[in-house]
Amino acid sequence: MEELAELRRVIRKFSFDPKKGYSRLLLQLFGYLGNGKSSFINTCKYVWDDGEFINHTNAKIKEDAGDTMERRSYPLTKTITLVDNRGCNTMNSYETGEIYAQLANLLPLDYRVEWTKGYQLVESIKEAENSVRISDFIFPIFVYSAKKSIAPGEIDLYRDLLSKARDVTGIFPMVVLTHKTQGSVAEQERAFRNLGVERIFAFENYTPNDHIKTRGRHEDVLRFLQEVIKDVQFRLSEPRNPEREMLHHKSIVYDYIRKREEEQGVRRQMQEERERQDPRQNRVRPENVGQRRKHSVDVKMEQEIRSDDERRNLEDQLRNIQGLLGKGKPENVYENETWDNQTSGKSKKGKKPKEGKDCSLQ
Ligand SMILES: Nc1nc2c(ncn2[C@@H]2O[C@H](COP(=O)(O)OP(=O)(O)OP(=O)(O)O)[C@@H](O)[C@H]2O)c(=O)[nH]1
Ligand SMILES: [Mg+2]
């Protein structure tokens, strides 16, 4: 117990030297939907406050559900604040753009986060300029459920995400694995170490359904906080300039948005060019999923009609040959099919050929 008390003392005592330009440590939690970000904050608050379990973050009670739509802050000590960022679903460039802006602390705290397109994110960042605090020391923490296995195809995605998170915060993220007792922690640790992560912590979160205090879980949280503090202190041993850092991070996020929009522009141009070269594509806009499905049905129909026409030609040719040779029914022309069907001009499926049918795409 003394050990835990000592950890508490270190965490409570931690504050910034005002000369360094920082006043608050923001632990920025980010990751996919339902991986346990909100529950981890509840866990930290429960351990730190040492009272009743409270679902501060409104973490979903139903297993595997999550739905935080806001970027919310939860003060822990007078210096340390936990930030529950909106979880992302697909990690497409619009979601990641927003995630990077959140991580770089360019968007206001305690506001709803919308995934925006185009240059709207730049507008939101500009609007937030007066409300964000340059004196915040940002510390990124990637939250991942140990229940999930990392597919080989996802490795590059995580590598990109973690290195971008480092670029926009100046710190390589630590990893918090949740659902410690339900997954293969060793496997996940190995995967994240291979991606360059130095510090990985595994937790079984306290949840509304399971919050009987255990010494192990309490200790895990306090040790994690102590490690974060050590890391921050290590970084503070070098001269830093919070204002310059913020500008640098902002320029990286702007750069990301610009590149993303340029790529979107190139894609749009290529699509327009394809449509010019093949006018049929004008009728099938790929962004219209319903039409695209119709397009593939139309193509299939066109192929079927074509093969029916070819079959009919072949049948005509065979009939001509038979007529010339003066023979009766040719053998094995089409397996499992009657000569009557063939001579009556029916297709293999017994359907009449679709004569005069408009094959063009709608
Ligand atoms: N058993 C167990 N359940 C957990 C753990 N962490 C989270 N959960 C459950 O997983 C579900 C999702 O957790 P949340 O904390 O809401 O996930 P989130 O990352 O905040 O999700 P979003 O807000 O959608 O991004 C909830 O039902 C939690 O109770 C854990 O370590 N162990
Ligand atoms: Mg949440």
- Of ligand 1's listed atoms, the one at least distance from the Cα of 35 is 19
Alpha carbons 232 and 164: distance in angstroms, whole number: 19
Beta strands in the chain (DSSP E): 24-30, 70-75, 80-84, 111-112, 136-145, 174-178, 200-202
CB atoms within 10 A of CB 116: 16
Shared domain check, 304 and 178: no
Looking at residue 318, what is its pLDDT? 57
Structural domain contains residue 60: yes
58 CA → ligand 2 middle, Å = 7
Looking at residue 140, what is its pLDDT? 97
Looking at residue 352, what is its pLDDT? 40
- CATH code of the domain containing 105: 3.40.50.300
Structural domain contains residue 214: yes
Given ligand 1 and candidates 205, 206, 217, which is best to mutate, with the most ligand atoms within 8 Å of its CB? 205
SS (H, E, C) 179-198: CHHHCCHHHHHHHHHHCCCC
Looking at residue 125, what is its pLDDT? 93
Maximum CA extent, the chain: 108
Given ligand 1 and candidates 30, 60, 95, 224, which is best to mutate, with the most ligand atoms within 8 Å of its CB? 60
Shared domain check, 183 and 38: yes
Structural domain contains residue 287: no
Structural domain contains residue 337: yes
Q: In what order do the strands lie in the sheet with 24-30?
A: 111-112, 70-75, 80-84, 24-30, 136-145, 174-178, 200-202
Looking at residue 331, what is its pLDDT? 40
- Of ligand 1's listed atoms, the one at least distance from the Cα of 64 is 11
Structural domain contains residue 271: no
Q: Are strands 80-84 and 111-112 parallel, antiparallel or unpaired?
A: unpaired
Looking at residue 351, what is its pLDDT? 42
210 CA → ligand 1 middle, Å = 12
Structural domain contains residue 136: yes
Shared domain check, 126 and 56: yes
Shared domain check, 300 and 251: no
- Of ligand 1's listed atoms, the one at least distance from the Cα of 29 is 19
Instruction: At 238, give phi and psi (nearest 5°).
Output: -105, 150
Nearest ligand to residue 99 Cα:
1
Q: How many domains does one find in the chain?
A: 2
Shared domain check, 124 and 246: yes
Domain, as residue range, for 72? 2-262
For the chain of 362 residues, list the mean pLDDT of each consecutive stretch of 10.
Answer: 91 95 96 93 96 89 62 96 87 84 92 78 92 95 93 90 95 97 93 96 96 96 98 94 95 93 86 82 54 46 49 60 49 37 39 37 28
Structural domain contains residue 197: yes
- Of ligand 1's listed atoms, the one at least distance from the Cα of 84 is 20
Residues in contact with ligand 1 by the CB-under-6-Å rule are 33-39, 59-60, 62-68, 87, 178-179, 203-205, 207
Shared domain check, 176 and 96: yes
Shared domain check, 248 and 300: no
pTM for the model = 0.76
Shared domain check, 250 and 330: no
Structural domain contains residue 356: no
Given ligand 1 and candidates 28, 30, 33, 38, which is best to mutate, with the most ligand atoms within 8 Å of its CB? 38
135 CA → ligand 2 middle, Å = 26
Shared domain check, 309 and 255: no
Backbone CA torsion sign across 42, 196, 20, 238: positive
- Where do we find the tokens 């339900």? 182
Shared domain check, 146 and 229: yes
Looking at residue 95, what is its pLDDT? 84
